[in-house]
Amino acid sequence: MRPEPRQWLAEILDTPFELQPLPGDASFRRYIRVHLPGGSRILMDAPPDKEPVGPFLAIHDRLASFSIDVPAIAARDATHGYLLMEDLGGSHLEDLDFAREPQPFLAAAAMPAAWLPLPHDDLTDFATLLEYEGTLFSDWLLTRLLELPASEVAQAETLIQALNAQVATTPTGFVHRDHHSRNLMVTGGRLVSLDFQDAVAGPRLYDIASLLYDSYAAYPDAVREKLWRHFCQAAGLNADDPCLRLELRLVAAQRNLKASGIFARLWLRDGKPRYLASIPNTLNHLQTHLDWLATQPGLPPPFTQGPALIAAVIARSEAVLPHIGQGA
């Protein structure tokens, strides 16, 4: 039988402690601050049947072995799904302002360049996930949440297929898969990466795209350009290469499609309304991508339909989202 958190902690700690539950995230994991006489630590409570910690530990140890800053682990129990980790405080990159503190943002942009060369042949091939991730957008967002006409959903599915075909051909590397402002802790001059357990072998620009077009942030174009150039310099890439910028937009569009679908599912399936607030910003990002991609020569015909499609999706979301939870 799986012990309760307090029981598990009592078995490994030789000092008194107090527990303080922390706000949940988008998964089945729970986080609890453990107050100790000499400070505090964070307990990850991950039910093995829902959120096994094995993938987290495997990627954690891989990143740490390559000097990527990840949370230090004081005790681990993969069988019961408990990890006792260092307490990094409560400051996320999301809480900072680039104009006042640019360095953490620049460090965040350089991070994907640091882990891109990591071993990844044993990780899931991102290309195998593309079809499923596309359905998150068409099924959960367009069909279930927004209730768009079947004709518009079919048009979206055609565009998604064309997008996936393009993304599948991009160069690959180690991909964190959730590199954004809420998964980066800022503490004592450190920038610490979190939530890396879903790492894959995937598009080399996926993580920088996740940061630049973050669902939880809307950076000015000038800031985004600085971060892009900082990443490219760290990765040894030409920031002005038009093919590279096309690659970025394709991958970013796929990422934003998936994210908006997940936010809809978190509400409809899991009853978590807080993520609905991030749908408009995510769709705005997607609109900039699809508008830009529609002007690029050489892409297949479905891309020309992108601007009209995303405009219809945004219009519908503006009509629907404000009334969710009000019985309308």
- Relative to beta strand 30-36, strand 39-45 is antiparallel
Token pair for residue 227? 């971060």
Token pair for residue 185? 């802790």
How distant is the alpha carbon of residue 153 from its chain centre? 24
Whole-number Cα distances in Å, 46 to 24, 109, 123: 12, 29, 21
Q: What is the pTM of this model?
A: 0.94
Count of residues in the chain: 328
Q: Which residues pair with 190 in a beta bridge?
A: 187
**Thinking of the domain 5-86, which architecture would CATH place it in?**
2-Layer Sandwich (3.30)
Residues 6 or more apart whose Cβ sits within 8 Å of residue 206: 126, 175, 177, 251, 255
Domain with CATH 3.90.1200.10 in the chain: 93-323
Domain with CATH 3.30.200.20 in the chain: 5-86
What dotted CATH number matches 93-323? 3.90.1200.10
Token pair for residue 257? 């499609």
Q: What is the dihedral of CA 297, 290, 183, 193, to 10 degrees?
A: 0
Nearest to 107 by CA among 215, 225, 231: 231
Nearest to 283 by CA among 253, 251, 249: 253
pLDDT in tens, the chain (328 residues): 899 999 999 999 999 999 999 986 657 889 999 999 989 999 999 999 998 999 999 999 999 999 999 999 999 999 999 999 999 999 999 999 999 999 999 999 999 999 999 999 999 999 999 999 999 999 999 999 999 999 999 999 999 999 999 999 999 999 999 999 999 999 999 999 999 999 999 999 999 999 999 999 999 999 999 999 999 999 999 999 999 999 999 999 999 999 999 999 999 999 999 999 999 999 999 999 999 999 999 999 999 999 999 999 999 999 999 999 654 3
